[in-house]
A and B are shown apart, each in its own frame.
Chain A
Amino acid sequence: MVGKTESQNGAVKATAAPAMNLESDLFSNFSFKSFKLKTKQQELLLRVSILGLVYILAFITRLFSVLRYESMIHEFDPYFNYRTTLFLTEKGFYEFWNWFDSESWYPLGRIIGGTLYPGLMVTAAFIYWTLRFLRFAVHIREVCVLTAPFFASNTTVVAYFFGKEIWDSGAGLVAAAFIAICPGYISRSVAGSYDNEGVAIFALLLTFYLFVKAVNTGSLAWALASAFGYFYMVSAWGGYVFIINLIPLYVLVLLITGRYSMRLYVAYNCMYVLGMLLAMQIRFVGFQHVQSGEHMAAMGVFFLMQVFYFLDWVKYMLSDTKLFQAFLRITVTSAIAVGALALGVGTASGYISPWTGRFYSLLDPTYAKDNIPIIASVSEHQPTAWSSFMFDFHILLFLFPAGLYFCFKKLSDATIFIVMYGLTSMYFAGVMVRLILVATPAVCLISAIAVSATIKNLTSLLRTKSKTAVAGSSKGTGGSKASSKASFDQSQPFQKNGAIALLLGAFYLLSKYATHCTWVTSEAYSSPSIVLAARGAHGNRVIFDDYREAYFWLRQNTPPDAKVMSWWDYGYQITAMGNRTVIVDNNTWNNTHIATVGRAMSSYEDEAYEIMRSLDVDYVLVVFGGVTGYSSDDINKFLWMVRIGGGVFPVIKEPDYLVNGDYRVDKGAAPKMLNCLMYKLSYYRFGELVTEYGKPPG
């Protein structure tokens, strides 16, 4: 019941927010005589209250999962984050920083402090300590569960300021309302999805906003702030590579289109140098900023900026233009040549590492499929079909081209930035489903520009009409827009009707958007995937809590030093909930180790036994959904185990497990398939007892 009222609020408020925004103009114009407040103050009040409502809306719409299930951590990676946060709050920062975890990647172990982005854990721990300091006795789990919604709310505020910076405050408000309920963002920030992205999108947008602000003002303070925003982003998510490539690209475009200015020089240099130095403090990133190929673009643009500055200075000193032209040519060519030479020498000598597979697969999307099965196997790395775009953006997709058009009509440094951000992230979103998340803020902002500009035009048109009808004067108050100017002939009634029709259409679309978002949040994005819900035969909800039961079974019934082998998906959960040592987990840093597990799973039982003895395995955990009809079980993932195993050990061949190119698990399956460890474990005594099945065999 509670869930229903919540969602009801969400839908109504979402539609109300853009509506109120334009009413703010109307309101302030009509009633400034009857109120004591000045127009400016009224507008401010309205703006702040709308923003406050949006802030709350963004938070509560993400609480569906808590209402539907319970306050718990979702999915796979968040369990690792939760485990490390717990460690951080219990043992303190230095212990956390130097933590060597022997419970995962047995027998190798993992240096946690050096292989993770600590931003999320430190943020959550900081919130926890603050609440504790204020004498709120909360459990760390609650803090972890609610971190993502809290940061989503903060993102709406940043979106408002960003929208205000690139267009006007109306666009900012609409953008805040859009991003508060946009499914593309909600998918990664519902309560309980305690993952890096929840914090990172906030940091990403903040960095971009501060940088654009710095470029617009040319102030060192904003550039400094943006460097710190970048530092936070680097500490939170590997996606910072997007920032460190987009900003140089943006600067490069500005240079090419002849928009070089002192403001740009100050903003970029400060942000790059300080941001780089700060980012090096994160151990996982280390010296990558000067050593890896992914960061070289930023450095190249940094040097190019110096060349530009130098040229500017020489131009100022030289009066002869001919001489300068010659000088220009020589300097630019030699600068480019020196840069290319340095890059070549660096790469050849191994000082600059080449691009990583993930990065490369973004530029050449077919790369991953052919070469790195471990990247291609993850479901969120699949390419995006149009329906996913529709599902995550809904009407924003329709508004996006219009917003692009508006941006090009009013080209400035800021709009160029947002256009570039939108287009690059759109392209990446097309390559990988998960990158829709990165595109979401840009899409929201650009669509907000379209909505805000359109509605502003229309309402000003309407208002002019009503004014002229009442006062009989042809001088509209706010009619500075071109749309209202061209229409002062006999066509007034029609103009008005047209505007009303367009407005109604716009509101219809916006309300559809709100409905869609609420529905998607409630039905699709709020399931924790560790507890499954299904509709029973009579329409009642059936909850399958088998995962957690299995992990607790491990915890209660196995010796504390037992080693559990499972496919890597379940590694984090077994360590976090089962408290047992695992062979591989979701941090897929060692492909060979994973391939060994894949090989064991796809070998005959006697061969698999040998492999498992060599790894000291005591228990094997397989997930089988044949009884409950759960589709993403290990049998479904099995082909990827074969592929990844076969990628390292050529003994394993995919065609051996297929019948005429088809994957089947019934009687007609390939003999190798029927006799491999995974199949034997999954269908162990399947025919005999069906009701009591579910425990992993040892």
Chain B
Amino acid sequence: MAISPKMNHLILYFAAIMTLLVSLSTSDSNSDLVSELLNLQSQSEAGVIHLNDQLVSRFLTSTKTPRSYSILIFFDAHQLHNKPELHLQELRNEFSLVASSFIANNVDNPSSRGKLFFCYLEFKESQSSFALFAVNSLPHIRLVGPDAKSLKDDSVQMEQGDFARMAESMADFVQSRTKLTVGPIQRPPLLSKKQIGLIVVVILIWIPFMAKKIFAGETLLHDRKIWLLGSVFVYFFSVSGAMHNIIRKMPMFLADRNDPNKLVFFYQGSGMQLGAEGFAVGFLYTIVGLLLALMTHGLVRVKSVSIQRWVMIVSLLISFWAVNKVIYLDNWKTGYGVHGFWPSSWN
């Protein structure tokens, strides 16, 4: 982590010097700018060019319209990466996916490759460019078309809805505005080739040992405790609503809206839950059940009476507390007040 920004800077300086040299020696014709951009693109990671104030002025403000290219700019701010609700990093990754897919899909088509460039601006080092575009909130993605004179008024902002569906919708936006085809988004596979190879090798090595054990009949499959642990885990997994969290991609906790320093672990309202909340409750369920099993099956084997006594009292207290807690939480969450239906004369 410490090296990569430095490297970036080096590359940047290098690029800046290069551009200066190039600009001194040649005239600012469009084709030169395009080749420069292509050069920058080939040097940058995933084909997303790192712009700064100088480069913005060189490629956008100081050029004559119409330019032969459009530039799609992602406005990034490193200091906001730790705010999960902005999804900056995610969007940035999706953005580079679109960029790399565009480049990969247009390899054989140099004319359209030189028509669109994906860039990003970092807030800390290019504040004046941010001001130039009048960007004051993130996430923000902007397309500067070939005819845009004023960066603020003539460029098109990508609407929230256009990056709602991640890379695919960004590509749609680009296609509709620039009439260039991005083509299918090429996501990297979940496991790289090396990892797959490693897994295959491990499995191959493991198979003979496994086969030997299976024929000997002494695998984990024959161990009762493993099955028990597995089944308790499945139980825990289900009742804690982990599936809900996976499907809905719920976060473990939220920051309080009124007080950002406070964390919200429990969400009020049925049909929704946060990750930590589910696990906490699932843990309470499991503990009561297992304590009951322990008391009736494990505790009776203990010889010492006083240990029996203490363990029993403690586990009774814990169970009582856990059950009360869960019922209280449930009533709080769903807002239901469960009550019996007693004869009215009893009240």
Q: Give Cα A402 to B235, complex, Å.
A: 11
Answer yes or no: B160 CB below 8 A from chain A CBs.
yes
> Is there contact, CB below 8 Å, between B300 and A365?
no
Tell me whether A454 and B231 are in contact (CB under 8 A). no
Whole-angstrom CA separation of A498 from B344 in the bound complex: 36
Query: Are A431 and B243 in contact, with the CB atoms below 8 A?
Result: yes
Q: Does A369 contact B (CB under 8 A)?
A: yes
Q: Which residue of B lies closest to A524 (CB)?
A: B336
Are A385 and B316 also in contact (CB < 8 A) when A519-B338, A520-B338 are? no
Whether B290 and A385, one on each chain, are in contact in the complex, defined by CB atoms closer than 8 angstroms, is: no
A408 to B333, CA, bound (A): 34
Which of A402, A457, A515, A518 gathers most chain B CB within 10 Å? A402
Instruction: Say yes or no: A8 contacts B246, CB within 8 Å.
Output: no
> Residues of A contacting B164 with CB < 8 Å?
654-655, 658, 661
Residues A325 and B215 in contact, CB atoms below 8 Å apart: yes
Per-residue interface assignment for chain A, residues 404 to 437, with 1 indicating a CB less than 8 Å from any chain B CB and 0 otherwise: 1110110100000001001100110111000000
Query: Residue A386 contacts which of B241, B248, B296, B336 (CB distance < 8 angstroms)?
Result: B241
Contacts A257-B222, A655-B162; A397 near B341 (Cβ below 8 A): no
Nearest A residue to B245 via CB reads A383
Whether A515 lies near B330 (C-beta < 8 A) is no
Q: Please tell me if the beta carbons of B300 and A487 are within 8 angstroms of each other in the complex.
A: yes
Query: Are A384's CB and B301's CB within 8 A?
Result: no
B241/A384 in contact, CB under 8 A: yes
Could you say which of A409, A423, A655, A658 contacts B231, with CB atoms under 8 Å apart? A423
Interface residues of A in 478-527 (CB under 8 A from B): 482-483, 485-487, 489-491, 494, 498, 501-502, 505, 509, 512, 515-516, 518-520, 522-524
Residue-wise, chain A 43-64 has the 8 Å CB interface mask toward B (1 for contact) of 0000000000000000000000
Question: Which residue, A382, A386, A405, A431, has most C-beta atoms of chain B within 10 A?
Answer: A386
Q: How far is the CA of A402 from the CA of B164 in the complex (A)?
A: 45
| Contact indicator A518/B341 (Cβ below 8 Å) | yes
Q: Is the CB of B312 within 8 A of A660?
A: no
> In this complex, what residue of B is CB-closest to A433?
B271
Residues of chain B with a CB closer than 8 A to A430's CB? 237-239, 241-244
Could you tell me if A405 and B290 are in contact, using CB atoms closer than 8 angstroms?
A: yes
Note all chain B residues with C-beta closer than 8 A to A369: 247
- Inter-chain CA distance A411–B300, complex, in Å, is 20
- Max chain B C-beta neighbours (<10 A), residue from A257, A366, A397, A429: A397
Q: Which of B8-16, B100-108, B191-199, B281-289 contacts A (4 or more CB under 8 A)?
A: B281-289
Q: State whether A454 touches B296 (Cβ < 8 A).
A: yes
Within residues 505 to 552 of chain A, which ones have a CB less than 8 A from any CB in chain B? 505, 509, 512, 515-516, 518-520, 522-524
Whether B239 pairs with A389 at a CB distance below 8 angstroms is yes
Interface size counted on chain A using CB atoms at 8 A? 77
A453 at the interface (CB under 8 A from B): yes
Return chain B residues, CB-CB under 8 Å to A11: 340-341
**Is A397 within 8 A of B285, CB to CB?**
yes
Interface membership of A398, Cβ < 8 A: yes
Query: In the bound complex, how far is the Cα of B340 from the Cα of A515, in angstroms?
Result: 5
B333 nearest CB neighbor, chain A only: A387
B2 within 8 A of A: no
Smallest CB gap from B295: residue in A: A502
How long is the Cα–Cα vector from A46 to B224 in the complex, in angstroms?
A: 37
Q: Would you call A518 and B277 a contact (CB within 8 A)?
A: no
What band does the interface of chain B fall in when counting residues whose beta carbon is under 8 Å from A?
Answer: 35 or more
Knowing A365-B243, A426-B235, A430-B241 touch, does A386 contact B292 (C-beta < 8 A)? no
For B248, list chain A residues within 8 Å (CB).
383
The answer to whether A384 touches B243 (Cβ under 8 A) is yes
Instruction: Give chain B interface residues in 296-333, CB to chain A under 8 Å.
Output: 296-297, 300-301, 303, 305, 308-309, 312, 316, 319-320, 322-323, 326-327, 330, 333
A7-B341, A400-B235, A430-B241 are known contacts. Are A365 and B292 too (CB-CB below 8 A)?
no
> Which B residues between 217 and 232 are near A, CB-CB below 8 angstroms?
217, 221-222, 224, 227-228, 231-232
| Complexed CA–CA distance, A687 and B305 (Å) | 77
Query: Is A665 at the interface (CB under 8 A from chain B)?
Result: no
Task: Given A8-B342, A519-B339, A522-B341, check contact A387 B273 (CB 8 Å).
Answer: yes
Contact, CB under 8 Å: A658 / B277: no
A314 at the A/B interface (Cβ < 8 Å)?
A: no
Compute how far the CA of A485 lies from the CA of B338 in the bound complex, rounded to whole angstroms.
Answer: 41
Q: Which residues of chain B come closer than 8 Å to A450, judged between CB atoms?
A: 289, 292-293
Q: How many Å lie between the Cα of A382 and that of B241 in the bound state? A: 12
Q: How far is the CA of A661 from the CA of B300 in the complex (A)?
A: 60
Residue of B nearest to A520 (CB): B338
> Do the beta carbons of A383 and B288 come within 8 Å of each other?
no
B22 in the interface (beta carbon within 8 A): no
| CB-defined contacts of B272 to chain A, threshold 8 Å | 385
Determine the chain B residues whose CB is within 8 A of the CB of A422 once the complex forms: 235
- Determine whether A656 belongs to the interface, using a CB cutoff of 8 Å to chain B: yes
Q: Are B244 and A384 in contact (CB under 8 A)?
A: yes
The 22 sampled A-B contact pairs (Cβ below 8 Å) are A8-B342, A11-B340, A11-B341, A365-B243, A365-B246, A369-B247, A383-B247, A385-B270, A386-B273, A386-B277, A387-B334, A391-B336, A398-B285, A405-B289, A406-B293, A423-B231, A426-B235, A426-B238, A494-B305, A523-B336, A655-B159, A655-B161
A402-B296, A430-B243 known; 8 new pairs, CB 8 Å cut-off, are A11-B341, A257-B221, A382-B271, A398-B292, A402-B290, A408-B228, A426-B238, A426-B239
